[in-house]
């Protein structure tokens, strides 16, 4: 994995090399995603940037599916915790713990498989993290770095 700086204007317009952000293979499939460079678990608010990046449709579908599964796991864990608190027994508490562990694992997997971002030192730029090295090289060449 690599990281690369790109201009926010270029990201919003999709003016990037036709290489997949995650695999580095030729990819002319633009996908609109929202990047939140300053988002922290304790502060989910912050600037959002709608960007267009080349990415395989299968990876986007997998991200959508993982998101739905994690929501189901979170709701199931909450329901099991409520049931355990109202006297359903310790087996339900074990089920809640298992659902929470599965939720955390799937969120981590989803984050590692997706694109990260953070603010760059340069004004008007974002630093894309967890991108493929070939994509990072191509962006650097585009900017003459």
* Token pair listed for 60: 């986007």
> Which residues partner with 37 through β-bridges?
none
Summarised one tens digit per residue, pLDDT across range 121-141 is 888 889 998 999 999 999 999
Three-state secondary structure along 22-62?
A: CCCCECCCEEEEEECCCCECCECCCCCEEEEEECCHHHHHH
Residues 64 and 106 in one domain: yes
The parent domain of residue 6 ranges over 1-55+115-145
SS3 27: coil
Q: In whole angstroms, give the CA distance from residue 120 to residue 128.
A: 9
Residues 1 and 49 in one domain: yes
> Which residues partner with 53 through β-bridges?
31
The arithmetic mean of pLDDT across residues 7-12, rounded, is 90
Residues 13 and 61 in one domain: no
**With 80 as the cut, is the pLDDT of residue 33 above it?**
yes
Residues 43 and 87 in one domain: no
Residues 47 and 82 in one domain: no
Summarised one tens digit per residue, pLDDT across range 84-115 is 888 877 788 899 999 999 999 998 888 888 88
Residues 82 and 130 in one domain: no
Residues 51 and 66 in one domain: no
- Rounded to the nearest 5°, which phi and psi values hold at 73? -65, -40
Residues 74 and 24 in one domain: no
């Amino acid at each position: 994995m690599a990281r690369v700086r790109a201009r926010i204007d270029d990201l919003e317009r999709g003016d990037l090399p036709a290489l997949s952000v995650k695999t580095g293979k030729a990819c002319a499939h633009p996908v609109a995603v929202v990047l939140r460079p300053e988002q922290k678990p304790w502060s989910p608010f912050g600037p959002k940037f709608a960007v267009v990046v080349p990415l395989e449709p299968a990876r986007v579908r997998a991200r959508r599916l993982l998101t739905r599964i994690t929501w189901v796991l979170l709701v199931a864990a909450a329901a099991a915790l409520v049931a355990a608190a109202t006297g359903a027994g310790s087996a339900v508490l074990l089920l809640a713990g298992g659902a929470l562990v599965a939720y955390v694992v799937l969120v981590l997997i989803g984050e590692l498989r997706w694109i990260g971002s953070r603010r760059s030192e340069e004004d008007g730029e974002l630093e894309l993290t967890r991108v493929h090295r070939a994509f990072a090289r191509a962006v650097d060449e585009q900017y003459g770095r």
